Amino acid sequence: MIVRAPAAAAGAKPLDAWWTVLVVDPFALRLLPALAARPWVTPLRLTLVGAALSAGSVPAFATEHYVLGALLFQAGFFFDCLDGKLARMRRETSALGAFLDQALDVLIRTGAFVALAWHAFPDSRLAPALVAGIVLFESWLRVFPARPREGGGASLPGALGRVRAALARRRLVLLPSTVDMETVALFLLPLTRSTGAIAVGLVIALAGYAFYCLLHVRRLVRS
């Protein structure tokens, strides 16, 4: 079976994180047809490969091999993007695959944050626990069900609404997502091998996670 590139675009999400759309998708969507043409390549296997790579970032960060950890985390994220795209393109989505993808992602991401926080904030052993708590709380709130509001989501007025519409035409979300924050904290800044830069990245990421916690709580209250 030969899958053409335009068909591969069906695997992309209508809206996605800035890092995913601008950096990952140009490579992933080109690779997707070749993967789809091989029946032995399945979304679940891609999930497991991505999880194995990302999991390697945790001991790498814990032993201060920051560049290796960053590369492993990003390689795992690339496969994590591919598994969902392949599942959507083949229409092979499953409850088990979705659960494994989400559960492994949360556990490994939390471990990576904690491993970095342990070295970035050596004078505060409370920092890793705080990091884990915020990341896990946001992850739980993200999937917590809420009743859809009558009339759907509200549109934004004026210039902000036009900006969101313009970004949506390029599949970009309006605000940086947790994926973008993870990219900064777990990939880009660890490449510097500077614990100071890593500490800044963690603070930025956790501020973003806290912001999204508030948005999730607001969504639940309003539902």
Question: All domains of the chain, ordered by start, with CATH?
Answer: 5-222 (1.20.120.1760)
CA–CA dist 69, 163 (Å, integer): 36
CA–CA dist 30, 162 (Å, integer): 30
How much is the average pLDDT of 26-37?
A: 90
**Do the beta carbons of residue 31 and residue 82 sit within 8 Å?**
yes
Q: Is the pLDDT of residue 148 over 70?
A: no
How much is the average pLDDT of 147-174?
A: 74
Confidence at residue 98, expressed as pLDDT on a 0 to 100 scale: 80
How does residue 152 score in pLDDT terms, banded at 50, 70 and 90?
A: very low
Confidence at residue 208, expressed as pLDDT on a 0 to 100 scale: 94
Confidence at residue 3, expressed as pLDDT on a 0 to 100 scale: 42
CA–CA dist 65, 58 (Å, integer): 10
How much is the average pLDDT of 13-40?
A: 90
More confident residue, 168 or 5: 168
Confidence at residue 75, expressed as pLDDT on a 0 to 100 scale: 96
Confidence at residue 12, expressed as pLDDT on a 0 to 100 scale: 75
The DSSP code for 24 is I
Tens of pLDDT, residue by residue over 91-131, are 877 777 788 888 899 999 999 999 999 999 988 888 899 99
Of 72, 105, 82, 76, the residue nearest 25 (C-alpha): 82
Confidence at residue 156, expressed as pLDDT on a 0 to 100 scale: 64
The sign of the dihedral angle between the CA atoms of 32, 34, 37, 43 is negative
Confidence at residue 220, expressed as pLDDT on a 0 to 100 scale: 86
How much is the average pLDDT of 38-51?
A: 91
Specify the range with the lowest mean pLDDT, choosing from 24-38, 77-91, 102-116, 134-148.
134-148
How much is the average pLDDT of 156-184?
A: 87
Tens of pLDDT, residue by residue over 101-110, are 888 999 999 9
Question: Packing angle between helix 43-62 and helix 95-120, nearest 10 degrees?
Answer: 10
pTM of the predicted protein model: 0.88
